[in-house]
Structure 1
Amino acid sequence: MTITKEASSTANPSPASFLTQANALFIKNLTYQKRNIWSSVRLIAIPLYLCLVLATIQALFDIHVNNSAENRCGCQCMDTTKDGKCERESCGLEYSSQNQAIFCAFPNPPPLLPLLHIPPSVTSSSIDSCTRTGSCHVTILFTGNNPSQLGAKVRCVQGLTPWRNNSTEVNDEIFKGYLQGNQEENINYEIVAAYDLLDTDKKNFNVTILYNSTHKENLVDRRVKFVRVPRLVNLVSNAYLEYLKGKGTKILFDFVKEMPKKETRLRMDMASLIGPIFFTWVILLLFPVILTSLMYEKQQRLRIIMKMHGLGDGPYWMISYAYFLVISTLYIISLMIFGSAIVAAYLYVFGTGLLGLFLFQFLIEELSFPSFSLYRGLYEFSQYAFQRNLNGMDGMKWKDFSGTAMDKVFSIIIVEWFLALLATYYINRVSSSTKERPFPFLRNPFKKIPSPQRISVEQQGSEVSVEMEKLDVAQEREKVEQLMMLEPCTTSHAIVCDNLMKVYPGKDGNPPKMAIRGLSLAVSSGECFGMLGPNGAGKTSFINSMTGLVKPTSGTALVQGVDICKDMDRVYTSMGVCPQHDLLWETLTGREHLLFYGRLKNLKGSDLNLAVEESLKSVNLFCGGVADKPAGKYSGGMKRRLSVAISLIGNPKVVYMDEPSTGLDPASRMNLWTVIKRAKKHTAIILTTHSMEEAEFLCDRLGILVDGRLQCIGNPKELKGRFGGSYVLTMTTSSEHEKEVERLVQDFSPNAKKIYHIAGTQKFEIPKEEIRISEVFQAVEKAKSSFEVFAWGLADTTLEDVFIKVARTAEAFNVFS
């Protein structure tokens, strides 16, 4: 931005460093967060609200389930007071129902004999046989790597010890033997258990015990199961000792005893049980907030406008990642505080939670499926907390991670984090059209790339027949070629475009669209170059190519000696852009916008504040508190003025302005033109406009672009002199006198051409060499005596006339060719 002489002399023209860019973005993010503080408060309040809901559910469950009489040891009132209240209560097994007994205290469990439980025979015939003979056949199966290995013996009954090939056969027979019984050579027997001796030998004792654990949930069957397992271990241990030391060697086994237990109550933690349904909801609730913020900058093209003003990828992603990481951390800490304060677990999005619980549970429980690592982690937390709370213990602690699946879950999450960073980096590089893909092996081998050489030849061939009409364009091309032969760093021109071409590939059967056809242009520092042209002429494609939005198909351009096709990031450090559509943050003020972009231009301290103040004053956004109003409350004209101020802040070496005065009133437009004219003293400006008045006021040179080609180039006076060697006569009469007006013009100028005709108003182009102005006045005054003339005028050629003439001639030639 053009500021006072003193401020300009103290400004630092060097590019902003990494830390300076990061600091600018960080301050902008903090300011943006301040503007949206209540949205953040509401976001953080959601976990508190949901935790309160969960706490209410848990409290209701405690009242009606956990603390109900059926879910604790049975009690009986022994003494009552006069008013009927219980004074002394006694609790124990003798007062309990079968459901209440499991909660009663068991301080002195009785010793149980170390017997091996033999399952009863299944068929009635086998029961009769056992009654007559006094004994039944039972079977203990064996398998392992060596069929000659030891076998355990069961006393008091006839025991069979058949060998099986593998543990699968053993498992099938145990299940079959328990349910159906086996009849082999009319001998009834039951399978008690099985031993898979694996690689057991004299140096290794490795055994797996298999038995049928089917039982009903009652104390008797549970005790049977409790007795069976230790006895089976004792049998195989004694057998192994005999195998090593000989007969008579054994381990004494006197009794089995349960552990004492104190009185308990049902402690079902519903918060832990339904935690996965709600917990991820709260965690992932922050994800769309972060995504919306990033996509907002991408969709509103704020990301690219920051890049054009010098913000590099490194500072952007570092600050964005750190910024959202801090927000996420504070969010989770707040969630943990809320959850701990009400003794409740956390919540998850309802639909996703149910989907993960009921449809994908088999994937959640399988560690080899990494996409569900978050759900698996939540699943582990909830299951661990539920089981521990049920036993009256605390939940998972850090020391418990190594003993659960959480260590693997965290490993998967870390790998996913690293892969996500790589994917983000790759996608960001690919989406930037001016950069090469970071991983060449990921390129699409079937993608067709248009041949720049072939297109260039066609383009040059089409210019041969019109080269004589565009000598000024040919001279500009020669000038560019001479400049390109010099060292780029020594050229005095800020912008040099060398045969720049942009071709958009055809789609849906349409041919490729050539938006720019070999444009060569040189713009020196301190010059404002205006680019005129009808809609679709290629002006926007040219600006997009120069600012890095699209990559040229062929040719190149140097900005301050830096190639836009090779090092666009360096170009951005010395560039300012005023896009056609205002790219602003709705919640940031005009001052905050300029402070942010000023920091990106390496302005600091008093220089920054002075530059911002002068910028706001120059575009009439300083007075009346306008500078400190959010940009979302600005009118269209105010936003446009702010966009121009942003493009000029920090004295950039090159500025691109796409229709900067669109939507401004005449007074604001004239003021803005004055600002731009002052700013171009040390800056090269390329400006596109549809206003001929703006082009004449601001531009040192003009170029008219039609169908992607420069048709002419020069200052406004040169163009009017070259293409405007005629006067324009305008006359308005009634419709019946139109023929008489044509005859009048033909009398004093036989070569006059009608260029406009509507409802009695006609315009004629009259060669200057055929008439004198006095003759025209005399002819019109004489005609007034014959018919009524409502209005008439004689004017010299305007820039608008030149534009229309050049555009129509070029379009006619294109249609003809």
Structure 2
Amino acid sequence: MADPSPASFGTQANALLRKNLTYQRKHIWTNVRLILVPLFLCLILLAIQHVLDALMKGVSDMTGDCKSNADLSGGICPIPNPPMLPAMSQIPQHELRSVKTDFLPYKDLPDKSSISANIFATSFAVNSSDLLPTLANNSLGSPIAADKDNYADPGLAPGLPIYNIQPLCIANSTWPLSLEKIQTEVKCVQGLCLWRNNSADVNNELFKGSYRGNPAGITNEIAAAYDLMSTDKKNFNVTIWYNSTYKEEFSTGPVKLVRVPRSINLISNAYLKFLKGPGLRILFEFVKEVPKHATRLNTDIASLLGPLFFTWVVLLLFPVILTSLVYEKQERLRIMMKMHGLGDGPYWLISYAYFLTISVLYVASLVIFGSVIGLKYFRLNSYTIQSVFYFIYLNLQIAIGFLVSSIFSKVKTVTVVAYILVYGTGLLGSFLFQTMLENQSFPEEWIVALELYPGFSLYRGLYEFSQYASRGNGMKWQDLSDSGMGEVLCIMSIEWFLALIIAFYIDQVFSSGKHPFFFLNPFKKSSSIPSKPTVQRMDSKKVSIDMGKIDVSQEREKVQQLRNEGSAGHAILCDNLKKVYPGRDGNPPKMAVRGLYLDVPSGECFGMLGPNGAGKTSFISMMTGLLKPSSGTALVQGLDICKEMNKVYTSMGVCPQHDLLWETLTGREHLLFYGRLKNIKGSALTQAVEESLKSVSLFDGGVGDKPAGNYSGGMKRRLSVAISLIGNPKVVYLDEPSTGLDPASRKNLWDVIQCAKQNTAIILTTHSMEEAEFLCDRLGIFVDGALQCIGNSKELKSRYGGSYVFTMTTSSEHEEDVERLVSTVSPNAKKVYHLAGTQKFELPKQEVRIAEVFRAVEKAKSNFTVFAWGLSDTTLEDVFIKVAKSAQAFISLS
């Protein structure tokens, strides 16, 4: 026996958890394949790592053969004594040097190629015995950009000339130069110092000469420029302009050095000359890197490719979560569980914990396996930081999944969108977001703005892991402030909280049908005392219709009396229930249910008959919470469906028109789950499930232990009825329960429903008149959204079928004889059918005696041949057709 009290929060949560675990066990191989994805990727990375290690083994072995300073590139060889190199200026390429042009207004620029805005010596002299000091007395420059370090200067490569900047060059001014093992030559290049009266002119000239800024496509590049600002004999205040395009050369590689030390030295010497005269100067002899140990090239493939691949790995959980949520929405399994008593709280708690558990196991297997096979990406970075980062992001991903699932209703659509987001996020992160991260000139505010997208937050965190792992020390807690990880953790934590709140709010408003501002009155108690009905004006036409339907009028008066008395004893009480669908595409609004008044006490089965489109499904949908009434209301066990639907669900059972089942769960597992929701526990639950399976013929042969996806249509229908009746609910809605059943199964199902209605109010919709007569205590014929009549089968037949139906089949030439025969028996007989010798007549019962009909037929047989004849009472089907046609005819006339 079921506990009469509703299932508690813990009981509902336990039921859903057991169902989910059972469902998960059915999909164990899907989970195995899901977990194998990151493991397979780790193995691929490990294989690539071994290949790279083998390829780099020969290069790495060179560290044992390195001679001192043999490798000046800053690569793998140790450099205990870095070379002393002359400091050079960065000068433009020959074809880019500043000359007179139409777009610059200054007339003091040279007609031929020169270098402007430098301070330099007037001659070039080299003392080979003391080379660097003599070179320091000259202004040397190179058009080749500096490298990322000073172990070797690309401008000193053999075969490349070095330029000595002088005010005036003599023809063929070149000098040989021998520096260490580098043999090259020094060429003279004319330099020009130009004076501008204010910094705005300097800035304008530099901008118009910029390689990127010149709109005419003509480059007029300046080597360097100075703004002395407030410099005087007591203050040295200077701003130096230099061409920053030489810093990175438009690449995303390591940042290169900038040749500015010589420019600083030149302006400093100029200031000293200004103060002390031309005899005093600062000698800038050389630049030199610090010594370095032997290093290996970074071949940690996981650190190099980790941000892209591990972004894909973690994001692969998103389509799994999203499709699962949308599948429940598409198949209406969520609302089915809700209609059988599952509250929003247990659903959110168990579903969230369910997805979080799967996600944590998934990522934990990735980290553990990656560490076991030796990937530095996982082994070097602090495991606690990794745990916190992944945990926060997984929670954010689940919250976003709940939020996004409210937008979609089709699994196929959301699957495509989810995988586009997965792979698109990885690619955009790798080719766009990472470029912005490595570009030091990109504003930090824009980086933070991009990280508001959760996928980029994930990518940023994984990128920081890869950077610290590639350095060989890994990320520790003290590194959070120096990296972007602390910022990412804060952003994801805030977004997790906000996404969860918004997702829950949308679910409550759109799925649970609550008012958009329901949170403003959390402590307001809804009253179960029904309010008095409002008096509504009705036009004369509608009043005359209702007066013609005495049974419908009496039903309305009874409902209004019960509402006025405040009676809450009846199981179902519909008070002026209406549903209007808004007009679309120029069509007028559709009135699906027109002011329905209905009282169904406990122990009664009320049958609702009606043609397709009459409004029966809309009525059932309102009573089960799928649709909100446009006006009016209904009370179920004294609870208002407009305000207390969640309480109504705890005492309700539903067999929908279409079977809502999990394909992989068995019939027994379905009944166990819904039985727990009805607060049935222990041995009582086992007994209730056994009896339910036996009652619907799903027990024998182990049918109840087979997946519902393997059931036939009739077996699924029987299971749906068993689900609606388990736990002895107070109110049950059966929407065409016997559809698709064979005669024997239908009769057995009728017996089950007949037995269940003893303490239950049942509303049943059907197109089978036989089913309606067998099961229903009262019937209502529903046409065009309104009840046309109410009563039991005998009352309806008596009221709408006060005639016998006489049928006779003869040859065509004797049809008039049949008509004369009928007129003698019943003068007011009415012909209702005529086809190929077969005629059907309605004979008023008050005019006919059955014995006279038999005598008249026997007498007629002696005059002409009678092939067949019959006399029958009015059937329920005849009543249904008559009422439906009359109502539709009246509607078309009005």
- TM-score, normalising length: structure 2: 0.73
Asked if 1:632 corresponds to 2:712, the answer is no
Within a 5 Å distance, the mapping from 1:256-655 to structure 2 comes to 258-344=289-375, 350=423, 352-358=425-431, 366-379=447-460, 381-382=462-463, 385-386=466-467, 389=470, 391=471, 393-432=472-511, 434-438=513-517, 461-487=540-566, 490-655=567-732
The answer to whether the 8 A contact 1:426-1:438 is kept is: no
Q: Which residue does the alignment assign to 1:14?
A: 5
Q: Distance in 2 between matches of 1:196 and 1:649?
A: 90
The answer to whether the 8 A contact 2:464-2:484 is kept is: no
In the TM superposition, residue 544 of structure 1 has moved relative to its aligned partner by 0.7
Within a 5 Å distance, the mapping from 1:717-796 to structure 2 comes to 717-796=794-873
In the TM superposition, residue 118 of structure 1 has moved relative to its aligned partner by 6.2
Q: 1:230 to 1:606 in 2, by over 3 A?
A: farther
Q: Distance in 2 between matches of 1:727 and 1:677?
A: 30
In the TM superposition, residue 93 of structure 1 has moved relative to its aligned partner by 4.1
Q: Distance in 1 between matches of 2:315 and 2:813?
A: 77
Q: Partner of 1:529: helix, strand, or coil?
A: strand
Q: Distance in 2 between matches of 1:167 and 1:337?
A: 61
Within a 5 Å distance, the mapping from 1:82-231 to structure 2 comes to 90-93=65-68, 102-109=75-82, 130-132=121-123, 191=224, 214=246
Q: 1:707 to 1:377 in 2, by over 3 A?
A: closer
Q: Partner of 1:690: helix, strand, or coil?
A: coil
- In the TM superposition, what whole-angstrom CA distance separates every residue of 1:557-609 from its partner, at most 9, and x where no partner exists? 11111111111111111111111111111111111111111111111112211
- What is the letter of the counterpart of residue 57 of structure 2? N
In the TM superposition, residue 527 of structure 1 has moved relative to its aligned partner by 1.0
- What is the letter of the counterpart of residue 104 of structure 1? C
The answer to whether the 8 A contact 1:656-1:685 is kept is: yes
Q: Which residue does the alignment assign to 2:150?
A: none
In the TM superposition, residue 429 of structure 1 has moved relative to its aligned partner by 2.9
- What is the letter of the counterpart of residue 837 of structure 2? G
- What is the letter of the counterpart of residue 871 of structure 2? L
In the TM superposition, residue 272 of structure 1 has moved relative to its aligned partner by 2.5
Q: 1:401 to 1:439 in 2, by over 3 A?
A: farther
Q: Partner of 1:304: helix, strand, or coil?
A: helix
- In the TM superposition, what whole-angstrom CA distance separates every residue of 1:22-67 from its partner, at most 9, and x where no partner exists? 1111111111001111111111111112222222233323333x33
Q: 1:740 to 1:352 in 2, by over 3 A?
A: farther
The answer to whether the 8 A contact 2:87-2:284 is kept is: no
Q: 1:541 to 1:125 in 2, by over 3 A?
A: closer
In the TM superposition, residue 712 of structure 1 has moved relative to its aligned partner by 1.0
- What is the letter of the counterpart of residue 368 of structure 1? A
- What is the letter of the counterpart of residue 91 of structure 1? C
Q: Partner of 2:862: helix, strand, or coil?
A: coil
Further displaced range: 346-355 or 120-129: 120-129
Q: 1:94 to 1:547 in 2, by over 3 A?
A: closer
Q: 1:808 to 1:569 in 2, by over 3 A?
A: same
Higher relative contact order (CA 8 A, sep 6+): 1
Long gaps (5+) in structure 2:
98-112, 126-136, 141-166, 168-191, 213-221, 276-281, 379-418, 439-446, 521-533
The answer to whether the 8 A contact 2:307-2:463 is kept is: yes
Q: Distance in 1 between matches of 2:49 and 2:356?
A: 32
Q: Among residues 784, 805, 811, which one is paired with 2:888 in the alignment?
A: 811
In the TM superposition, residue 108 of structure 1 has moved relative to its aligned partner by 4.7
Further displaced range: 639-648 or 742-751: 742-751
The answer to whether the 8 A contact 1:731-1:793 is kept is: yes
In the TM superposition, residue 329 of structure 1 has moved relative to its aligned partner by 1.0
- What is the letter of the counterpart of residue 47 of structure 2? T
Q: Which residue does the alignment assign to 2:753?
A: 676
Q: Distance in 1 between matches of 2:765 and 2:449?
A: 58
Q: Distance in 1 between matches of 2:870 and 2:684?
A: 54
Q: Distance in 2 between matches of 1:525 and 1:403?
A: 71
In the TM superposition, residue 638 of structure 1 has moved relative to its aligned partner by 1.2
Q: Partner of 1:536: helix, strand, or coil?
A: coil
Long gaps (5+) in structure 1:
1-7, 76-88, 139-156, 180-188, 244-250, 442-454
In the TM superposition, residue 191 of structure 1 has moved relative to its aligned partner by 4.5
Further displaced range: 580-589 or 741-750: 741-750
Q: 1:717 to 1:125 in 2, by over 3 A?
A: closer
Q: Distance in 1 between matches of 2:426 and 2:462?
A: 14
- In the TM superposition, what whole-angstrom CA distance separates every residue of 1:434-480 from its partner, at most 9, and x where no partner exists? 43224799xxxxxxxxxxxxx99686544222233211111111100
- TM-score, normalising length: structure 1: 0.79
In the TM superposition, residue 739 of structure 1 has moved relative to its aligned partner by 3.5
In the TM superposition, residue 125 of structure 1 has moved relative to its aligned partner by 9.0
Q: Distance in 1 between matches of 2:635 and 2:726?
A: 22
The answer to whether the 8 A contact 2:730-2:760 is kept is: yes
In the TM superposition, residue 102 of structure 1 has moved relative to its aligned partner by 2.9
Q: Partner of 1:91: helix, strand, or coil?
A: coil
Q: Partner of 2:560: helix, strand, or coil?
A: helix
Q: Distance in 2 between matches of 1:370 and 1:715?
A: 68
Q: 1:624 to 1:356 in 2, by over 3 A?
A: same
Q: Which residue does the alignment assign to 1:707?
A: 784
Q: 1:178 to 1:568 in 2, by over 3 A?
A: closer
Asked if 1:42 corresponds to 2:42, the answer is no
The answer to whether the 8 A contact 1:726-1:767 is kept is: yes
Q: 1:94 to 1:74 in 2, by over 3 A?
A: farther
In the TM superposition, residue 136 of structure 1 has moved relative to its aligned partner by 7.8
Q: Distance in 1 between matches of 2:350 and 2:547?
A: 56
Q: 1:60 to 1:760 in 2, by over 3 A?
A: farther
Q: Partner of 1:702: helix, strand, or coil?
A: strand
In the TM superposition, residue 334 of structure 1 has moved relative to its aligned partner by 1.2
The answer to whether the 8 A contact 1:119-1:178 is kept is: no
- In the TM superposition, what whole-angstrom CA distance separates every residue of 1:399-447 from its partner, at most 9, and x where no partner exists? 3222112222222222332332233223323433743224799xxxxxx
Q: 1:170 to 1:538 in 2, by over 3 A?
A: same
Q: Partner of 2:486: helix, strand, or coil?
A: helix
Q: Distance in 2 between matches of 1:320 and 1:216?
A: 50
- What is the letter of the counterpart of residue 343 of structure 2? G
The answer to whether the 8 A contact 1:734-1:760 is kept is: yes
Q: Partner of 2:38: helix, strand, or coil?
A: helix
Asked if 1:686 corresponds to 2:686, the answer is no
Asked if 1:67 corresponds to 2:57, the answer is yes
Question: Considering only aligned residues, what root-mean-square deviation do their CA atoms show, in Å?
Answer: 4.4
Q: Which residue does the alignment assign to 1:146?
A: none
In the TM superposition, residue 374 of structure 1 has moved relative to its aligned partner by 2.6
- In the TM superposition, what whole-angstrom CA distance separates every residue of 1:320-358 from its partner, at most 9, and x where no partner exists? 111101111111111222322334469995555334433
Q: Among residues 11, 14, 24, which one is paired with 1:33 in the alignment?
A: 24
Q: Distance in 2 between matches of 1:514 and 1:748?
A: 46
Q: Among residues 696, 699, 703, which one is paired with 2:773 in the alignment?
A: 696
- In the TM superposition, what whole-angstrom CA distance separates every residue of 1:526-560 from its partner, at most 9, and x where no partner exists? 11111111111111111111111111111111111
Q: Percent identity?
A: 61
